Structure 1
Amino acid sequence: MAEATRILHTTLIPAFSQNPSPHLKPPFSHSQALFKKNPVRCSITTSNTDTSRSTNITQQEIPWGCDIDSPENAAALQKWLTQNGLPPQKMEIQKVEVGERGLVALKNIRKAEKLLFVPPSLFITADSEWSCPEAGEVLKRNNVPDWPLLATYLISEASFMNSSRWTNYISALPRQPYSLLYWTREELDRYLEASQIRERAIERINNVTGTYSDLRLRIFSKYPNLFPEEVFNMETFKWSFGILFSRLVRLPSMDGRVALVPWADMLNHSCEVDTFLDYDKSSQGVVFTTDRPYQPGEQVFISYGKKSNGELLLSYGFVPREGTNPRDSVELSLSIKKSDKCYKEKLEALKKHGLSIPQCFPLQITGWPLELMAYAYLAVSPPSMSKQFDKMAAAASNKSTSKKDIRYPEIEEQALQFILDSCESSISKYTKFLQASGSMDLDVTSPKQLNRKLFLKQLAVDLSTTERRILFRAQYILRRRLRDMRSGELKALTIFNGLLKYFK
């Protein structure tokens, strides 16, 4: 959907809950890439009489998307959409400053006006017709879930090139999305060592890798004519899942169905808008309702959901400017020490409620969740409070029967100090990275790779700066609260000592 705020143009493809938001891009959650620096280029053969592949026929190179700034592909997509039922629009695809390519207003657009009206015939869903029907039947017969099925569908349709109905759409997709799927493990370790998004990225990469391995073992290897490895391989799945993560839409009014919606997925994200895509039953198409007016020539935006800067980098490959995302947060990792006298008992209580050691909680500029405080209480609680361990763990997991904030005044100071120590430990990691980033040796010789490394490093610096800012705010609040508590205790102790001397 939206390209990065600053896209690096090279020919290289970088190595690489439920309750989804009704906005764009639901998280990948099925059972489930690795990192090569070569372009995704596969060869297949096509036959006019048979939809199965055969390597004995003359091979052709498959184009996997295009460079973001390709006006020819954008124009071809717009023409194709119009020919296939897209009604006249008040927007068109243009080069833009935010996102490199987006939809720009052609006429005055009012606030609360409905735009787009993309009909269902232009959606790509799990029920879409395959250019190779046999391949689709095999996947459905094996009960492949929607996400991997759609990933395979994209690859299959790309391989049929002009024989596929979707060739104009696929040709207009980005050749190299910049989500964290495409960072190497070395790059993740080096640039995101301070951020918990690194762990999320590794988990996502492992999920995609596992998905491909599972499909290859259970299906692709058994039907090589339908799924030749020259086309259906780790590189192409890396590309197709990157497209899904950044462009797939969940439509609440269609019972939460997921779909790729050509044209609509050219809209870029802004933290300043709250409007999102959905299916409109009255107009029978995907629409969004503007929450502000637009003048001709202005880029039109939607929201990808209430996501932190780290989540936006994870899926879409960009980081909003510091201080512009009101939903920004940073994951703070808390951990109970193994030297704790009640470590085993606390671990059992956490496991009972689906938690682990360590556990991450989101910090926002405005504060932190009750679950984080409950975990801190559990971490500092002495053996004499063992009967409260289960209640604390339940509250930390948000599974407590009581929705009220739990409080333990006798250990509140220790709990706040525990959180403060964790904040300061995390801050030191960010500070170390940011101080080193200015003189970081990129160790590359190719100009293209150098540009890419600089681009990734800048994204990491932007993310680290915004996440450290939130931690600094939490540190300030915690220090002030602890100071007030301790000054109050000191004052009470002074009064008590005065009374004691008086009575003596």
Structure 2
Amino acid sequence: MALGSQSIQSLGSRVRGRRVGGGRAFVASTVPPRGRRSSVHCSAILGQLFKGVSGTGLGAGAALEPQPELEPEFQSWLRGQGITTQPLVLRQCGREGRGLVAERALGRGEALLQLPDSLLLTPQRAAEESCLAPLLRQMSSEGASTSAAIGAGAGAVGGAVGGAGAVAGAGGEAAAALPLPEWSLLALYLAELRGRAAAGDRSSRWGAYVDVLPPRPGTVLDWPAKETRQLLRGSPLQRLADSISGAAAASWEELAPLIARGKAEGLVPPHVPLSKADVDWAFGVLLSRCIRLPGRGQMQVLAPWADLLNHDVNAETGSAAAAGPAGASGSGGGGAGGCHLDWEPAARGGAGALVLRTDRPYSPGQQVYVSYGPKSSGELLLSYGFCPPPAANPHQDYKLLVGVDVSGADPLAALKVEVLAKHGLPPSLEFPLKLEGLPEGLLNYVAFVEAAPKVPQELSDLGSLLFEEGVFPLLDGTDTLAAALKSLSGKCTAALKAYPTTMEVDQALAAGAAAAVVNRPPRGPRGRGAQAAATAAAPAAAAAGATAGAGGEGGLVTLGTEDVSVSALREAAVAGIRVRERQILQRTQASASAQLAEVKRAARSRRR
């Protein structure tokens, strides 16, 4: 079909087209979203609503006064592992809980931590040290796992490509093929270590590390299922929660038969339960603490001491943070740079080490931060258990899902999927809407999936115009740009209606809990603070009709000097996220409507 046909009209003597954003620039992610985690998280109790924004530690330049050593057994163990000289000390950092603080002045780009390979809990090490090692070795000899479900699950939850395969060694060399996905191997061994620790078994050298891991990591895996559905209804975070829980369930399905076989063959010690509860706990620990190292082939590891670093939403996430005063690389292993952890082969005299490159100078007494990646407050809440104020998070977004209707309602669905594949695009994409403008490629993608040409074969030419040339042609006399803008506005309207509460209710919920946390009265009998917090949020909660079932999760946690309800704070955190999501949707809708009006005015002018 010729591009100048009566149906599709492009740039030429008779017709017009528009270039919007040009070419193939797409800022979107496939569904289900895959975590891309390069960093870690520490002490993430749900009560830390405001964690993640720098400046809430010891204060700029505060004198580092002598204090009793925190976690003395753990720190003694670290010294025994060769971590003896560190410019960082472990301190309580206000609402953020524990964190690492500069003991001396630190420069931008300085290499910190320098953790050797021997201190990293790697998947290979987990497989070798597990009580199920004989079975795992047998599985390796029989062939690596090819479970597609686990491969996808580990990507969604573990923050790296799942599935089994060769893993890079400390120097980048290929190690033996793993019998299970990295995520599953680490979870299996963590669950075993937890059981040993509970029984007083100190035979593992990782015991001191396991002792300082949180009993409840606070991720969405700890949330009651009913409460999760209630809180996240209408939000794109529901898709992320489903992806995380589904991946964890898939991993357990693969591990359960292996554990049962190990018990039957007497490989599992009687005092080590290796129960589903222990494995679920391990999933939460990994979700909130596992590091993916670009410098070691995207290997997932646990890194004691490094996982005490707290996240700052304003930490640099790109290569700008990597360059120090001497031009040192922030990602010696070939990573993307930025204020995150990675493996540097040249560190420690060429032996290699896990290193943090600072993105700013620090004075003595200041908390040192890391970036967990450009994540929204909702992603941080679900994956790490804390929620920075969404309005203060530059990465806050609303992930709008756009895709071909494959339910049968669109007779051109199969052909659209085929054309999208030719352009390297999936049948559905998540576009991160923000307050400042539309993501590149959004309107192009919407225009294509909404198109309904009279001649189906014209979809191929339409795809080339939209995705290769960035041109919005006329299709059967219809302006495809106007159609895309109208569709986008409608999607925003539908998304706004999907929330179970009103903007006013969510604002009251978020403000009430924030006041309960910030305006901490003198501590009285246990439970008084929680009652005050509940009172502050009660009118809004009643109006919303969204009081979450406790399900064992309505207990109290200590936040500073006040006891507050975990469920109440979780509800308030999600309410604050919904407020920002609504604002983003409203701004996007207004922008689409304004652009649509301009397109219509231009069309009327041309007709005159």
Deviation at 1:489, TM superposition (A): 3.0
Q: Matches of 2:463 and 2:491 in 1, distance apart? A: 19
Pairwise CA distance, 1:459: 1.7
Shift of 1:490: 3.6
1:312 maps to what in 2?
Answer: 380
Shift in CA distance, 251/192, structure 1 to aligned 2, threshold 3 Å: same
Q: Per the alignment, in what secondary structure is the counterpart of residue 163 of structure 1?
A: coil
In 1: Cα distance, 2:78 partner to 2:570 partner: 34
Q: 1:129 to 1:373 in 2, by over 3 A?
A: closer
Partner of 2:498: helix, strand, or coil?
helix
Q: Would the aligned equivalents of 1:177 and 1:316 in 2 still touch at CA under 8 Å?
A: yes
Q: d(CA) in 1 for partners of 2:343 and 2:460?
A: 44
What's the CA shift string for 1:363-395, capped at 9, x where partnerless? 233333444323321343233252243466789
Residues 141-180 of structure 1 mapped to structure 2, 5 A cutoff: 141-142=138-139, 143-161=179-197, 162-180=202-220
Name 1:300's counterpart in structure 2: 368
Which of 443, 457, 468 does residue 582 from structure 2 map onto? 468
Is 1:234 aligned to 2:276, yes or no? yes
The one of 132, 135, 139 equivalent to 2:136 is 139
Q: Deviations over 1:265-284 (max 9, x none)?
A: 11011111121111122222
Structure 2 unaligned regions, length at least 5: 1-31, 42-67, 140-178, 317-338, 507-539, 557-563
In the alignment, is the contact (CA less than 8 A) between 1:279 and 1:286 conserved in 2? yes
CA distance in 1, matches of 2:484, 2:247: 35
Tell me, in whole angstroms, the C-alpha distance in 2 between the residues paired with 1:153 and 1:425.
45
Structure showing greater relative contact order (alpha-carbon pairs closer than 8 Å, 6 or more residues apart):
2
Question: Normalization by structure 1: what TM-score?
Answer: 0.76
Cα deviations by residue, 1:265-323 (Å, 9 ceiling, x for unpaired): 11011111121111122222211111111112211101111222232222112222233
CA, structure 1 residues 198+140, in 2 after alignment: closer, same or farther (shift >3 Å)? farther
1:144 to 1:313, Cα distance in 2 relative to 1, 3 A: same
What is the aligned partner in structure 2 of residue 418 from structure 1? 487
Is the counterpart of residue 100 in structure 1 residue 102 in structure 2? no
Instruction: Provide the rounded CA distance (Å) in 2 between the counterparts of 1:382 and 1:129.
Output: 54
Aligned residue type for 2:296: M
After TM superposition, list the pairs within 5 Å mapping 1:53-202 onto structure 2.
Answer: 74-97=71-94, 99-128=96-125, 134-142=131-139, 143-161=179-197, 162-202=202-242
Within the candidate set 226, 251, 271, 2:293 is matched to 251
- TM-score, length-normalised on structure 2? 0.64
Post-superposition CA distance 1:233-267 (Å, at most 9, x none): 22111110111111111122222222111001110
What is the identity percentage for the equivalent residue pairs of Structure 1 and Structure 2?
26
Q: Deviations over 1:4-53 (max 9, x none)?
A: xxxxxxxxxxxxx8987472269xxxxxxxxxxxxxxxxxxxxxxxxxxx
- Looking at structure 1, the residues matched to 393 and 306 of structure 2 have their Cα atoms a distance apart, in angstroms, of 23
Measure the CA separation in 2 of the matches of 1:23 and 1:344.
Answer: 42
Conservation of the 8 A alpha-carbon contact between 1:353 and 1:394: no
The letter for the 2-side match of 1:302 is V
2:38 pairs with 1:23: yes
Matched, 1:448 2:551: no
Q: Which moved more, 1:224-233 or 1:74-83?
A: 224-233
Give the whole-Å Cα distance in 1 for the aligned partners of 2:37 and 2:430. 24
1:346 corresponds in structure 2 to 413
Q: Deviations over 1:447-490 (max 9, x none)?
A: 62681210110121122122222222212211211122223334
Does structure 2 conserve the Cα–Cα contact (< 8 Å) formed by 1:346 and 1:378? no
8 Å Cα contact 1:25-1:250 kept in structure 2: no
SS at match of 1:349: helix
Contact 1:158 1:164 in 2 (8 A): no
Corresponding residue of 2:341: 277
Q: Which residue pairs with 2:309 in the alignment? A: 267
Amino acid of the residue matched to residue 226 of structure 1? L
What secondary structure, in the 3-state scheme, does the structure 2 residue paired with 1:293 have?
coil
CA distance in 2, matches of 1:368, 1:232: 48
Q: Which amino acid aligns with 1:238?
A: D
- Tell me the secondary structure at the aligned position of residue 412 of structure 2: helix
Which whole-Å CA distance do the structure 1 matches of 2:223 and 2:551 have between them?
18
CA contact (8 A) 1:375 1:393 kept: no
* C-alpha deviation, 1:137, in angstroms: 3.1
Asked if 1:383 corresponds to 2:453, the answer is: yes
Change (3 A) 1:186 1:20: closer
The residue correspondences of 1:38-53 to structure 2 (distance < 5 A) are none
Partners of 1:338 and 1:256 in 2: how far apart?
34
Q: Which runs of 5+ in 1 are unaligned?
A: 1-16, 27-70, 497-504
User: Residues 183 and 394 of structure 1: is their aligned pair in 2 closer, same or farther, counting only changes over 3 Å?
Assistant: farther
Q: 3-state DSSP class of the match of 2:346?
A: coil
Post-superposition offset of 1:327: 2.5
Distance in 2 separating the partners of 1:164 and 1:235:
21
Give RMSD over aligned pairs: 3.2
Question: For residues 461 and 115 of structure 2, what CA distance do their matches in structure 1 show?
Answer: 50
2-structure distance, mates of 1:338, 1:251: 37
Q: Which residue of 2 aligns with 1:211?
A: 251
Q: Secondary structure at the match of 1:241?
A: helix
Amino acid at match of 1:266: L
Give, in whole Å, the separation in 2 of the partners of 1:182 and 1:444.
12
Q: Distance in 2 between matches of 1:149 and 1:339?
A: 37
Q: Secondary structure at the match of 1:383?
A: coil
Distance in 2 (alpha carbons) for counterparts of 1:290 and 1:476: 40
Change (3 A) 1:452 1:433: farther
**Counterpart secondary structure, 1:298:** coil
Contact 1:209-1:234 within 8 A present in 2 as well:
no
Residue of structure 1 in register with 2:473 after alignment: 408
Structure 2 CA distance, aligned partners of 1:98 and 1:73? 16
Helix, strand or coil for the counterpart of 2:433? strand
CA contact (8 A) 1:22 1:252 kept: no
- Does residue 439 of structure 1 match 2:541? yes
Partners in 1 of 2:261 and 2:90 — Cα distance?
42
Query: Is contact 1:139-1:149 (8 Å) kept?
Result: no
Residue type matched to 2:354 in 1? V
2: CA distance, partners of 1:445 / 1:379: 42
- Report if the CA contact (8 A) 1:319-1:459 is conserved: yes
Matches within 5 A, 1:321-336: 321-334=389-402
Output the amino acid matched with 1:425: A
Which residue of 2 is the match for residue 7 of structure 1?
Answer: none
- The CA deviation at 1:188 is 1.6
